[in-house]
Amino acid sequence: MPDEAHRRKMIPIVAEGWVWMAILGNVQLGLRHPENRGPSARVAKRFCDAVLEKLKEENILTADEAAKIYRDEMKAENVGRSRNA
């Protein structure tokens, strides 16, 4: 079993912008599931935030497009929570 240092090792992955956008959308969709609320969901949320920020930095998305994606995702997340509260 790997030790903690190996688990924290950075793993660079290179992909085209559209691939990152597809991955972002799929992870966000998974985060909408009402039972996906544990520690790994929080990690996935931070990952999505980082990908969205990088897409802005690389001019793959405009600031307005990124803000809309973020707002839409927050709306969807809140709707999912209110349905299952």
Backbone angles phi and psi of 44, in degrees to 5: -65, -40
pTM score, whole prediction: 0.79
1 lies in a domain?
Answer: no
Domain that holds residue 60: 17-83
Residue 75 has pLDDT above 90, yes or no: no
For residue 57, tell me if it sits in a domain: yes
Q: Does residue 74 form part of some domain?
A: yes
- Write the pLDDT tens digit of every residue in 1-49: 778 888 889 999 999 999 999 999 999 999 999 999 999 999 999 999 9
* Residue 50 counted as domain residue: yes
Tally of domains within the chain: 1
When pLDDT is cut at 50, 70 and 90, the band that residue 84 belongs to is: low
Q: Is the pLDDT of residue 67 over 70?
A: yes
